Amino acid sequence: MYPRTQFKHDTENTFWRNLRLFGLLIICTLNLPSLAADIPAAPDKAEDKLQLTGQIDTEDEFSHALTLLRGKSFKDKLKAIDTLAASRNPKALHYLKALLEAKLYYRKDDQKIIIARRADKGYALIDPESGENLGTVPKREIKKITLNNAMRRALREKIASLSLSNPDPNVRYAAVDEMLSSRSKGLAATLKTLIDQETNSKVRKLMQVGIALGELDGDKPAKLSALEYLAGNLHPSVRNRIQSMTEDPSEDQAVVTAARTALKKIEDKVYFFNTLETLFFGLSLGSVLVLAAIGLAITFGVMGVINMAHGELIMLGAYTTYLIQQAFPGFNDLSILLAIPAAFIVSGLVGILIERSIIRFLYGRPLETLLATFGVSLILQQLVRSLISPQNVPVSNPSWLSGSLQINSVFSLTYNRLYIILFSLLVFAGLYLILKNTRLGLQVRAVAQNRAMARAMGVRSGRVDALTFGLGSGIAGVAGVALSQLTNVGPNLGQSYIIDSFMVVVFGGVGNLFGTLVAGLSLGVANKILEPWAGAVLAKIFVLIFIILFIQKYPRGLFPQKGRAAEN
């Protein structure tokens, strides 16, 4: 035990020690604000946080990348592109696409990055993340984010990579196609990691092409295997890569031989599809000729009238399409459908007026009919120049006639020509049914075979002539609607097709509808086959010479009329 005096001394020491500690605690509490002021504030910038912690969170990393984009260093901008793409942030794709399209700017006052497009009074600003319209500002208030070729290559690759996660298979396909075109170094490795996750067969197949392209940079066995797989593939990147391998002197001879074999298969396929494309364009041209000539086959073949104003009736149909589009500017997709019956009625009524006022007095006098209808054609041309415009007028295609059906990378079918082929067949079928299965058709055939006998049987030949001429003229107007989707619409439109129409009618057989169809399609294909090596003008001359020689041998054409009609 401690002595009593020692215990008393220790108790006194503890009391004073605690009192001193308590006083120090009070002093520290009273001076806490001043001590806190001397402590450095927590960093709020991504760079400072990086210095203190060695890492940045995702949002700060995204913001820091946008900050680098505003700088002048292309090296820093490349880092920013990599950072934005690696962030997998959905907003990154908007920034990268706008940057590739050279539409990414930043405002000078608050440094905010925006998308800017030219407007009437400056530049229209759009928020890249929300798509919100931020108003219009003068050019001096914004600055463009510049880029170079290295950035463009990186942007294409990163955009394609980000698009591969899109749920739409068409977007993923376009992304893989873009990666193949850019020929990025990590193409094969990237696609190998994603191909197992791909569910769409079309996208998977293109991915396999990309992997094979990447293996062309590997060792000899990998190259030979890849060339065997890529032989006959029509993708432009495949063809260009294999072409370069055949011209590379440092390449192994066995690889060069395999590359030449693969390239030969590709070129054979390209030639085949180019031939199909030529046939398609020939059929589309032939369909136009059929539409233009089928009305003439009735008036010239059935009535024996040489109507030189037939081309102007086609022109009236094209101008009817233009006027309907002007009358209904908000209904462009439907205006073409309204123009078909309208053009038939307009051209048909004009045809009936021509027949009733001029041609009815000239039956049996073909030379006078030719001269009179030629004068009518000049009057119609000048009428259009005076009432509408002496210049060509614009006729826009509806959305469903725009674009093309892409079969592969070297062969596509344009929708406007495809629809015109189908349309001409429908018009032909409709006219054939009218002439074969209606009362008017029966009377037309009767008058064509024997006008006097038809009159004796009670057929009003004058009325039949007017309706027949109106029917042929109406079909010419429908042909004008189709032509308005392919060529310029102007006062001289019909003059380009009147000679070809007569050639089709004579070559096919006067008055024979099937002859007109076969002749029109045949001449259209022949023109397109001759054009690549003879030129458009010489091709027409050769076709004309052929028809002259053919008519010398077969004066009645491909399908001559039989029976009484052939004797008249």
Question: Which 3 state secondary structure label does DSSP give 309?
Answer: coil
pLDDT reported for residue 538: 87
Please calculate the CA angle 39-45-46 and round it to the nearest 5 degrees: 125
Instruction: Name the nearest CA neighbour of 427 among 284, 296, 289, 294.
Output: 294
User: Mind listing the pLDDT tens digit for each residue in 51-92?
Assistant: 333 334 566 777 888 888 888 888 888 888 888 877 767 678
Q: In whole angstroms, give the CA distance from residue 378 to residue 357.
A: 16
Sign of CA dihedral 53, 57, 61, 67: negative
DSSP 8-state secondary structure symbol assigned to residue 458:
T
9 residue type, one letter? H
Q: In whole angstroms, give the CA distance from residue 565 to residue 193.
A: 75
pLDDT reported for residue 38: 43
pLDDT reported for residue 37: 42
pLDDT reported for residue 189: 76
Contact 492, 533 (CB under 8 A): no
Residues 6 or more apart whose CB falls under 8 angstroms from that of 102 comprise: 144, 147
Cβ of 80: how many Cβ atoms within 10 Å? 25
Task: Compute the 3-state secondary structure of the chain and give helix, strand, coil in percent, each to the nearest 5.
Answer: 70, 5, 25
Structure tokens at 125: 């600003």
One pLDDT digit (tens) per residue for the chain, 568 residues = 444 444 344 444 554 555 454 454 444 444 444 444 444 444 444 344 333 333 345 667 778 888 888 888 888 888 888 888 777 676 787 788 888 888 888 888 888 888 888 877 788 888 887 778 888 888 888 888 888 888 887 887 777 777 777 778 888 888 888 778 766 666 777 788 778 888 888 889 988 988 888 888 888 898 999 999 999 888 888 898 899 999 888 888 999 999 999 999 999 999 999 999 999 999 998 998 898 888 888 877 667 778 888 889 999 999 999 999 888 877 777 888 899 999 999 999 999 999 889 888 887 788 888 889 999 999 999 999 998 888 888 888 888 888 888 888 888 888 888 988 999 999 999 988 988 888 888 888 787 777 778 788 887 877 888 888 888 899 999 999 988 888 888 888 888 888 888 888 888 887 778 888 999 999 989 988 888 888 878 888 888 899 889 888 888 888 776 655 455 5
Intra-chain end-to-end CA distance of the chain, in Å: 156
Structure tokens at 62: 């995204």
Q: In whole angstroms, give the CA distance from residue 99 to residue 230.
A: 34
Q: Quick one: which H or E segment has residue 37? A: helix 32-37
Cβ of 229: how many Cβ atoms within 10 Å? 17
Instruction: Name the nearest CA neighbour of 235 among 255, 216, 254, 253.
Output: 216
Contact 227, 255 (CB under 8 A): yes
Q: In whole angstroms, give the CA distance from residue 487 to residue 397.
A: 11
Domain boundaries, the chain: 50-150, 164-251, 273-399+411-567
Q: In whole angstroms, give the CA distance from residue 75 to residue 83.
A: 13
CATH code of the region 273-399+411-567? 1.10.3470
Please calculate the CA angle 204-207-209 and round it to the nearest 5 degrees: 115
pTM for the structure as a whole = 0.71
User: Mind listing the pLDDT tens digit for each residue in 446-498?
Assistant: 877 777 787 888 878 778 888 888 888 999 999 999 888 888 888 888 888 88
Residues 6 or more apart whose CB falls under 8 angstroms from that of 236 comprise: 181, 409
Backbone angles phi, psi at 323, to 5 degrees: -65, -35
